[in-house]
Amino acid sequence: MPQLAQRMGRAKPSAIMMVAEKAKQLKAEGRDIISFSIGVPNFLPGDHVYAAVREALATDSGQYGSNRGDPAVLDAFLRHVEPLGLTGYGRENVVVNVGAKHSLYSLAEALLDEGDEIVFPTPYWTSYLDIADIVGAKVTTLPCPPEQDYKLTPAQLDAALQSKPRVFLFNNPSNPTGMVYSREEIEALADVLVKYPDTWVITDDIYNRMVFDGLGYHNFVHARPELRERVVFADSLSKTYGMPGWRVGFLLGPAEVIKAVVTLNSNAITSVPEIVNAAAVAALSGPQDVPNAKCVEFQDKRDQVMAVLESIPGVVCPRPQGAFYVFPDISCAFGKSHGAMRIENDIDFCNALLEAKGVACVPGSAFGEPRALRISYTCPTAQLAPGMERIREFFAELT
Ligand code: PMP
């Protein structure tokens, strides 16, 4: 048999998907499973999105579209980001891709040659590492443990940028920690970035509409406008609008970088389908009551999850202020047992929890932090309290 490309030796299937699959399998076997594993929103977009799709179907051309994205979507996105302080951009600064994952993959292709350095904080979203590995980049991770609220400090960033990495990749609000950087924190990091003109900045901010406690979302370009020529902002319809399967992601950034991604699109995907374009325009420009209501609901769910975690002796959990994840440090369970199941690490913990209580979570090592565990609280509301109660019981039963 002919060989696969060497890069596939480095590519790994998503750890999150593996947990989700195992939970699905147990469910199919008749087990009562509550899944806190996969980060999918459990809601659908507003009716106006479906109405726009039906209308687009009636006039569908069936043709290829633009490699950059339909002008109506580009304009809708430009208007959508204005309230975030991302103003003064034009269509040349935007491209529509097949989800943020595709955007990030294309950026890795566009910005990183083999052996180039990419720097990002730990905990990180799993695909960052895998995408960097596939393109053969040299990865430097910056440990941000729970003791510093999982947040990158300006001193850490400064030290990391001295080697002039090609790319600094940042994520705010964070998957897996739910952390949100305050205005002051973003400004302090932006002040460091200004000093290192050889480094591109990718800021994956797809959860920017899901920020709690009135904290507000802040970004580097708004903080320091001179960074505009080096910062690429990634957004997506997936989480905000309950549209992960529609596969729409956006990049906003310097025209030269965006043009490179458009060139990749012309050779990889050609375009996003016409019907999907119509859905995207409707989601971005139509009533925002669904995402607004979901943000309130997620804040409430965050409170419920945190109340349980805070009641468990030994568990440490920085309080998330966005997205729909919590990332407790569960290392107090290491060295203990649940029945006959010995727990030495996060993977043992997740397996034992799933086996004993039917609750699926993702081990922190999938995100580079083996002391923790990710709970995604997008499940139906009725499952949240029972699921958290099972976690509380599980801890209480450890010996
Ligand atoms: N970035 C982060 C931080 C994510 O959590 C996800 C989805 N889990 C993505 C990117 C990819 O999103 P999309 O569905 O737009 O590809």
Residues 343, 294 share a domain = yes
**For the residues 45-54, what does the mean pLDDT come to?**
97
pLDDT of residue 22: 82
Q: Is residue 367 part of a domain?
A: yes
Hey, what amino acid is at 345?
Answer: N
pLDDT at 15 over 80: no
Residues 259, 318 share a domain = no
pLDDT at 350 over 70: yes
Mutate to test the pocket of ligand 1, among 107, 175, 240 (most ligand atoms within 8 A of CB): 175
Q: Is residue 127 part of a domain?
A: yes
Residues 179, 150 share a domain = yes
pLDDT of residue 17: 72
Q: Which of 285, 301, 329 is the last residue of a domain?
A: 285
Q: Is residue 1 part of a domain?
A: no
167-198: per-residue pLDDT in tens? 999 999 999 999 999 999 999 999 999 999 99
Q: Which of 206, 208, 225 is nearest to 217 (CA)?
A: 208
100 Cα to the center of ligand 1, angstroms: 5
**For the residues 377-387, what does the mean pLDDT come to?**
95
Ligand 1, closest atom to CA 39?
8
Q: Is residue 171 part of a domain?
A: yes
Q: Which of 122, 121, 218, 220 is nearest to 161 (CA)?
A: 121
What rounded mean pLDDT belongs to the chain?
95
Least confident of 9-18, 53-62, 347-356: 9-18
Q: Is residue 212 part of a domain?
A: yes
Mutate to test the pocket of ligand 1, among 104, 130, 236 (most ligand atoms within 8 A of CB): 236
Rounded distance between C-alpha atoms, residue 249 and residue 236, angstroms: 4
Residues 220, 180 share a domain = yes
Residues 358, 222 share a domain = no
Q: Are 220 and 190 in contact (CB under 8 A)?
A: yes
127 Cα to the center of ligand 1, angstroms: 9
Which residues have any ligand 1 atom within 6 Å of their CB? 39, 99-101, 125, 171, 175, 204, 206, 236, 238, 244, 249
Q: Is residue 29 part of a domain?
A: yes
- Read off φ and ψ for residue 57, nearest 5 degrees: -60, -40
Residues 269, 205 share a domain = yes
pLDDT at 316 over 90: yes
Domain coverage including residue 342:
6-44+290-396
Q: How far are the Cα atoms of 102, 122, 202, 205 from residue 128, in angstroms, in the given order?
A: 12, 10, 11, 14
394 Cα to the center of ligand 1, angstroms: 30
251 Cα to the center of ligand 1, angstroms: 13
Residues 39, 74 share a domain = no
pLDDT at 14 over 80: no
- pTM (2 decimals)? 0.96
Least confident of 12-16, 127-131, 363-367: 12-16
Least confident of 4-8, 46-50, 342-346: 4-8
206 Cα to the center of ligand 1, angstroms: 7
> Using 50, 70 and 90 to split pLDDT, how confident is the model at 18?
confident
Q: Which of 262, 285, 308 is the last residue of a domain?
A: 285
Residues 203, 91 share a domain = yes
258 Cα to the center of ligand 1, angstroms: 19
Residues 71, 30 share a domain = no
Percent of the chain having pLDDT more than 70? 98
Which stretches of the chain are DSSP H helices?
Answer: 15-28, 47-58, 71-81, 99-111, 126-134, 154-161, 183-194, 220-223, 255-268, 274-285, 289-310, 346-357, 381-396
pLDDT of residue 39: 84
Q: Is residue 296 part of a domain?
A: yes
Q: Is residue 374 part of a domain?
A: yes
pLDDT of residue 216: 95
> Using 50, 70 and 90 to split pLDDT, how confident is the model at 11?
low
Residues 298, 271 share a domain = no
Q: Which of 259, 285, 311 is the last residue of a domain?
A: 285
Asked if the ipTM is above 0.85, the reply is yes
235 Cα to the center of ligand 1, angstroms: 9
Residues 220, 95 share a domain = yes
Rounded distance between C-alpha atoms, residue 215 and residue 322, angstroms: 9
Ligand 1, closest atom to CA 125?
3
350-364: b (≥16 Cβ within 10 Å) or e: bebbbeebbbbbbbb
**For the residues 89-106, what does the mean pLDDT come to?**
98
Helix and strand counts by DSSP (H, E) for the chain? 13, 14
pLDDT of residue 149: 97
> Using 50, 70 and 90 to split pLDDT, how confident is the model at 38?
confident
| DSSP string across 281-297 | HHHHHS--HHHHHHHHH
Number of domains observed in the structure of the chain: 2
Q: Considering only CA atoms, which residue is closest to atom 12 of ligand 1?
A: 100
Mutate to test the pocket of ligand 1, among 238, 276, 327 (most ligand atoms within 8 A of CB): 238
108-154: per-residue pLDDT in tens? 999 999 999 999 999 999 999 999 999 999 999 999 999 999 999 99
CATH number at residue 313: 3.90.1150.10
> Using 50, 70 and 90 to split pLDDT, how confident is the model at 235?
very high
- Read off φ and ψ for residue 185, nearest 5 degrees: -65, -40
CATH number at residue 194: 3.40.640.10
Residues 33, 59 share a domain = no
398 Cα to the center of ligand 1, angstroms: 34
